[in-house]
Amino acid sequence: MSDSVEQQLSLFRYLIQTRSFGDSTLRFLDSLLISKDVKSLVEIRSSLTQLLKSESLSIIHSITAETIHDKLLVLDFFVRAFALVGDLESCLALRYEALVMRELKSATIQLLQVSPLEWLNFVEDAVKNGFHEVSVKACENALRCIGNNNVQKLGRDAIPENLKANAISEITRLRNFALTSITSRSDKSVLLA
């Protein structure tokens, strides 16, 4: 890698370590991904992915005493950063963590309640990208959320009564697809062993 790219990566690391989790840092990250040739782009993307993985773990562990709002802002930043570098697995994992964190805290802060549509969008993305185990868990959360009256009381992205049956059917279909995919993968593993 050129010295210029190394300096830019160092600056990006500095921005993360100083907790500059705003749009300007994401724009800087996006600018790092502009490359004239494929080989450079692959190299930069790989370096950024490794940097994001190590820094995100460090920062997420360091914010355990922070407010839920601050934790969610950090998770959102890293979700967006991983999406930019194309690390869908990390992106989806952190999205799931943010949804679960919101769901847990919604008992005391109702505005954090995750809507059925948010769960459904996550499930669709997870299934589409082959993350079936987490899809099954998210489907269970979505189904539980559909019957939650607090979602309607808060005026959240509730599923209208006339569409509930369709939503339940779609979530069940996605869950069954994910379960079938998990089972067939397990069966292939056994056959190869």
- CA-nearest of 95, 77, 141 to 115 is 141
Q: Which residues of 26-49 are buried (b: 16+ CB within 10 A; e: fewer)?
A: beebeebeeeeeeeeeeebbebbb
- Residues in contact with 27: Cβ distance below 8 Å, sequence separation at least 6, in sequence order: none
Cα 97 to the center of its chain, rounded Å? 7
* pLDDT score recorded for residue 41: 86
* pLDDT score recorded for residue 39: 84
The H or E element spanning position 98 is helix 88-105
Whole-structure pTM value: 0.82
User: Which DSSP letter does residue 113 get?
Assistant: P
Residues of the chain with pLDDT under 50: 151-152, 154, 190-191
Structure tokens at 172: 């069940």
* pLDDT score recorded for residue 158: 60
Contact 60, 22 (CB under 8 A): no
* pLDDT score recorded for residue 170: 86
123-160 pLDDT, tens per residue? 999 999 988 888 898 988 888 888 665 544 545 556 66
* pLDDT score recorded for residue 71: 95
